Amino acid sequence: MIVIENVAVATVDADDTEYSDGHVVVGDDGRIVAVGAGHAGRYQGKQRHVDGAGCLVTPGLVNTHHHLYQWATRGLALDDTLFGWLKTLYPIWGRLDAEVVGAAAGAGLGWLALSGCTTSMDHHYVFPRGGGDVLAAEIEAARLIGLRFHPTRGSMDLSEKDGGLPPDNVVEDTDEALAATEEAIDTWHDPSDESMLRIAVAPCSPFSVTERLMSEAATLARRKGVRLHTHLAETDDEEAFCRERFGCTPVEYAERLGWLGDDVWLAHGVHLDDRAIERLGATGTGVAHCPSSNARLGAGMARVRDLLDHRVPVGLGVDGAASQEVSHLGAELRQALYTARLRGGPAALTAREALRLGTMGGARCLGRSGQIGSLERGKLADLVLWRLDDLGHDGIEDKVAALVFGPPAEVELALVGGRPVVERGNLVHADASALAREARRAARKLRKT
């Protein structure tokens, strides 16, 4: 049992319950036993006591969109739009193998843990022939770091010769991609409440995937009872591509192929008109909001206030480290708030709404709102204790405001299912320096090949 007390608590429950001086108790089963004001009462004196003075405890952050392999190609194509950036990087990614992906995933997931993330998805869609089992490599990396993991089996089957964007050497045959996706689900997916590993189905994007693959992937996912994910409405280029090739907007195209529903979450959703937002809200389709990546690529600012007002589930994502080199999920809270306010003024998003995007919003996108995303009795003990009594946060009395408006806070303690993964700013199960060395070696190998 772990008892955290003398701490500010932001539960992010349905009522946004907070305690300026409270406690959280974690049971031996990895679930939350109690949350409340004041001292932990009868739970005092149990196995481990954590004094949370100067800290804020929140649900662990949930990363809803990422490409872990991109850690090996950070700092490239720095001034390109999305399509130009992809054309520069596709040839390099075509040389990926399991060794490179495993090293990149270890570094990326370790950094995510240090930034307050306890659950992450990954959208992997590049499977070069002869590259080994890259999906297994990143799953092993997640096990090492200790994060709850939702990798997706992505795919691309629309190459340049067929009117798509990716070169021929990074796409798969449609039937092979579908078969490999089903095999990944059968091999790895764990649907249990306590699951540390769930698989989703994730064809890459309208400009890299055929209509047949999109449609049959949706059928496959629903037959298997797993979730669906893809990029959609990220840039003006994509909007023009869909109108020219399909005669409709990206959201209209997705709906035509069965890609709207409460089992779907879409990456980015930057360029959405009023009707598209209404359809997402009516169908319960989620959006992974990636404000830093959208800014880095100059893609635009998502209409987050309008999405929330239409009851669209919205979570946060850092996106791949080649399009957002910071990759710090805690910092994405502030970036989301600033982006919303640049678009809609100071009332467009509050600090607490930003925190909800990063916690319960992400849990909803991943279909885990019943298990994670808030601090409530009986839920899985995925939580973060943020250190907020340092110089950088001094004077900001509102702890939630300090977390969101202030500089990125150090993680004093992060638990996943009640098990520590970060303590006092250090990874528990891995050495950050070793992860960095392996990632550097992988990047050199990939770029020299």
Q: Which residues of 377-416 are buried (b: 16+ CB within 10 A; e: fewer)?
A: eebbbbbbbbbbeeeebeeeeebbbbbbbbebbbbbbbbb
Structural tokens at position 248: 């409709």
Residues 123/229, Cβ–Cβ less than 8 Å: yes
Q: Can you tell me the distance from the alpha carbon of 57 to that of 34, in angstroms, rounded to the nearest whole number?
A: 13
At 401, which amino acid appears? Answer: A
Q: Which domains does the chain have, with CATH numbers?
A: 2-59+372-427 (2.30.40.10), 61-365 (3.20.20.140)
What DSSP string runs through 245-281? HHSS-HHHHHHHTT--STTEEEEE--S--HHHHHHHH
What pLDDT score was predicted for residue 47?
Answer: 82
Q: What are the residue ranges of helices labelled H in 146-290? A: 174-188, 211-224, 236-246, 250-256, 274-283
Torsion of CA 360, 365, 369, 370, to 10 degrees: 180
44, pLDDT greater than 80: no
Provide the pLDDT confidence category of residue 146 given band limits of 50, 70 and 90: very high
Local structure of residue 161 (DSSP, 8 states): G
Closest CA to 236 of 266, 261, 201, 268: 268
pLDDT tens by residue, 69-106: 999 999 999 999 999 999 999 999 999 999 999 999 99
Beta carbons within 10 angstroms of residue 136's beta carbon: 16
State phi, psi for 3 to the nearest 5 degrees.
-115, 115
pLDDT tens by residue, 322-367: 999 999 999 999 999 999 999 999 999 999 999 999 999 999 999 9
Provide the pLDDT confidence category of residue 372 given band limits of 50, 70 and 90: very high
Region 40-47 average pLDDT: 79
pLDDT tens by residue, 439-449: 999 999 998 85
Would you give the distance in Å from CA 368 to the centre of its chain?
Answer: 13
317, pLDDT greater than 90: yes
9-18, 35-44, 235-244, range with greatest mean pLDDT: 9-18
Q: Can you tell me the distance from the alpha carbon of 399 to that of 406, in angstroms, rounded to the nearest whole number?
A: 10
Region 175-195 average pLDDT: 98
- Burial class (CB within 10 angstroms; exposed 0-12, middle 13-18, buried 19+) of 275: exposed
What pLDDT score was predicted for residue 46?
Answer: 64
What pLDDT score was predicted for residue 181?
Answer: 98
* Farthest CA pair distance, the chain: 69
State phi, psi for 426 to the nearest 5 degrees.
-125, 145
**Vertex 71: Cα angle to 317 and 217 (nearest 5):** 55
Q: How far is CA 185 from CA 69, 90, 150, 153, in A?
A: 20, 26, 11, 8
405, pLDDT greater than 80: yes
Q: Can you tell me the distance from the alpha carbon of 445 to that of 449, in angstroms, rounded to the nearest whole number?
A: 6
pLDDT tens by residue, 393-404: 999 999 999 999
**Mean pLDDT of all residues belonging to the chain:** 96
Give the bridge partners for 9, in sequence order: 19, 57
Q: Can you tell me the distance from the alpha carbon of 24 to that of 43, in angstroms, rounded to the nearest whole number?
A: 10
What pLDDT score was predicted for residue 449?
Answer: 59
What pLDDT score was predicted for residue 168?
Answer: 87
